[in-house]
Amino acid sequence: MLQLLTAWLLVVVAAGGAEPLRVVFEGPLAEQKWALKEINPELPSDWSPFNFLVLEMKASSPQRFELRLHTVAGTRSQRLHPFSGVWIRAAVPLGYFRRPDREGFDMASMGNKPRGTFWINLSGAVGSLESVEALGVAMQNPVGRPSLEIRSVRLSKEDPGDAVLDPGPVVDEFGQWIPADWPGKASNLEQLRKAWAAEEAALGPGEFDYCRYGGYRSSRAKASGFFRVEQIEGRWWFVDPDGHLFFSVGANVIGAFSGTRAEGREAAFAALPPAELRAAMRPAARSAQASFYTWNLLRRFGSEWPEKWLDLTFRRMDAWGFNTVGNWSDPRLGAARRKAYVVTLRGWGIESAPMGMPDVYSAEWARQVEQAAAEQCAPHKNDPYLLGYFVANEPPWPGREQLLAEMILEGRETAMQRELKAYLAAGDTPERRRSFVWRSFAKMLETINAAVRKHDPNHLNLGIRFGGRPSEEVIRAARVFDVYSQNIYDYAPDQAALDRIYKLAGRPIIIGEFHFGTPGRGLAPGLRQTANQFERGVAYRYYVENAAAHPALIGTHWFQWLDQPATGRGDGENYNIGFLDVTDRPYSELVEAAKLTHRRLLGVHSGKEPPVARKAQIR
């Protein structure tokens, strides 16, 4: 059975199921839907006794697709990101289709669920699977006519495990995806050495009018010895310690380690980095992870790779126009005092709390916050290169206050649980549960902010990097910070949305995350895609310049510096979102585009030059 929505697709289903079901996607959106009896007459409609949908499939592209389970009561769906170019067994947990998942403390940990040969992004509708009628697959904005083949569909109560069903490894010794090919793919170490040497020979400081802190030398404001914010002639700016106007152009996750899980998946790799290299990089929990990027740095620089990588990173930032070391970056970059940097504070109990909401009514929690702030802020208190602190990232509970309240009530006994029960004794309504959550959040912010300010009165509090579409309550709560931070994954920040944020928060705005990728090299395209590498550069220019044109916007931080591993980071993400690939080679199209934009940002943010108008092609 063929169902068209707003696009065309080709479906081949052989009689009797002798050949795989095959779909070729084209157009902005399409779905192929098979009735269960077409797939296998023996498949039951009641899936409630089963825990896994086991598929044998082959995707030509790493681009995500939506797996839809059509039931009498409605459609259940989640996004799958499969290994590409090989036949795999994917044991899909049906629990993710039945009910909202409760595991995680931020939006990524609650939304991304890793498996062996694919990963799942929880973003769809859930519900009962008692009356399943059909199975569907859908893809938005496919690039290059990707195909999906499915040769086996079955149900299982036990987890049969995921597996690559084709012989041989899928990742080569450099960390590249073996089943795919592309221009410039490294075939030997000598090829890489020539490319590395060529880059170093050409690398030189760019002309961005930056002073030692990254502010504009040609500008002047009051110097305070530390970074601060000021509104000048109707436009907000960071002001650097020497009194120069500063627009923060940053990248997140600048580091020398990019780990992927190797344990239990050894057959997927042609070779693994030396065990001593893995232990040196992450001696504790991550020692079982393999970082091919680190191995390539060892190949490039030898035993002195940590120091030489550090120097090369600063040279690249100088050449490309980045003036800020962003979130989750190697702390040695900040300690070197060569670029402005941010610090991500931890230790508030968020990681172990339901939906990231710590037990703010516990006396022990208040002591924990005090100690964490003292230990983390005191070393940075007098550092002029510190731009400011982020205190948390993408809380997942806004809009799901009822679920959070339910989790608190059903969880172990805590001070917060006792407080909530006492509050609800005067009336248990959805609105009162929601009110309690927001009261608790306000107490959390008050306690953390006071501790941070006590132990470092010199630096900016950049706040929580909120994700998604923020509610009015979220934005108003951020008034306690010096800067409002928002992660905005779109092709450009909506000017009206920025106006709304500024009106409600009354604070200058920094974008904590954005990116663009394209499917290929075994890598998924990220949260916003473009048609190819050149269009990634076009998208970067359009996003950053149109963001910078807003008078309250004072910085944009790209996520992230380096591509993620083809076999996925800890939560499965395997995005083509780096300025660098796994072999430590820059994406020249993106780099050159960024350099052009970075030279223009003083004029664009001052309102003297218009932002670029060319939008990227996305497929």
Point out the domain boundary residue: 164, 187, 219: 164
580 burial via Cβ count (<10 Å: 0-12, 13-18, 19+): buried
What pLDDT shows up at residue 284? Answer: 52
Q: What is the pLDDT of residue 287?
A: 53
189-208 confidence digits (pLDDT tens): 999 999 999 999 999 999 99
Q: What is the dihedral of CA 350, 96, 397, 390, to 10 degrees?
A: 50
Over residues 354-381, mean pLDDT: 97
pLDDT value of residue 18: 58
Q: For residue 380, is it within any domain?
A: yes
Closest CA to 395 of 358, 432, 365, 443: 358
Q: Do 312 and 450 share a domain, yes or no?
A: yes
Residue 619: inside a domain: no
Overall number of domains in the chain: 2
Pairing of strands 484-486, 460-466: parallel
In sequence order, the 6+-apart residues with CB closer than 8 A to the CB of 74 are 125, 127
- Are residues 136 and 258 both part of a single domain? no
SS (H, E, C) 510-552: EECCCCCECCECCEECCCCECCCHHHHHHHHHHHHHHHHCCCC
Shared domain for 400 and 530, answered yes or no, is: yes
> pLDDT digits over 439-466, tens only?
999 999 999 999 999 999 999 999 999 9
**Structural domain includes residue 529:** yes
240 and 124 fall within a common domain: no
Tell whether 365 and 226 lie within a shared domain: yes
Statement to judge: residues 586 and 517 lie in one domain: yes
Residue 297 lies in a domain: no
- Region of 307 on the Ramachandran plot (φ > 0 left; ψ -120 to 50 alpha; else beta): alpha
Q: Say whether 390 sits in a helix, a strand or coil.
A: strand
489 is a domain residue: yes
Whole-number pLDDT of residue 16: 42
State which H helix or E strand residue 472 sits in. Answer: helix 472-477
Beta partners for residue 118, in sequence order:
82
pLDDT at residue 572 greater than cutoff 80: yes
Tokens of 451: 């501790």
Residue 68 belongs to domain with CATH number? 2.60.120.430
Q: How far is Cα 238 from Cα 97, in angstroms, rounded to an integer?
A: 45
Domain holding 315, by residue range, is 207-262+304-606
**H helices then E strands: how many in the chain?**
16, 25
Tell me which of 104, 131, 164 is where a domain ends. 164
The token duo for 403 is 């679920």
Q: Are residues 231 and 345 in the same domain?
A: yes
Secondary structure of residue 562 in the 3-state scheme: strand
164, 180, 215: which is the final residue of a domain? 164
3-state secondary structure 81-116: EECECCEEEEEEECHHHHCCCCCCCCHHHHHEEECC
One domain for residues 124 and 238? no
Do the Cβ atoms of 116 and 162 come closer than 8 Å?
Answer: yes
Residue at 285 is within a domain = no
* 157 and 222 fall within a common domain: no
Q: What does residue 329 show for φ and ψ, rounded to 5 degrees?
A: -95, 165
Task: Let me know whether 447 and 346 are in one domain.
Answer: yes
pLDDT score recorded for residue 275? 82
The CATH number that applies at residue 571 is: 3.20.20.80
Average pLDDT in the 339-359 region?
97
Is there a single domain that holds both residue 331 and residue 415? yes
Same domain, 443 and 528: yes
pLDDT for residue 381: 97
In a domain, 597, yes or no: yes
Residue 179 lies in a domain: no
Quick one: pLDDT band at residue 277, thresholds 50, 70, 90?
Answer: confident
β-pairing, 553-558 with 289-290?
unpaired
Q: So what's the pLDDT on residue 281?
A: 57
pLDDT at 506 (0 to 100): 97
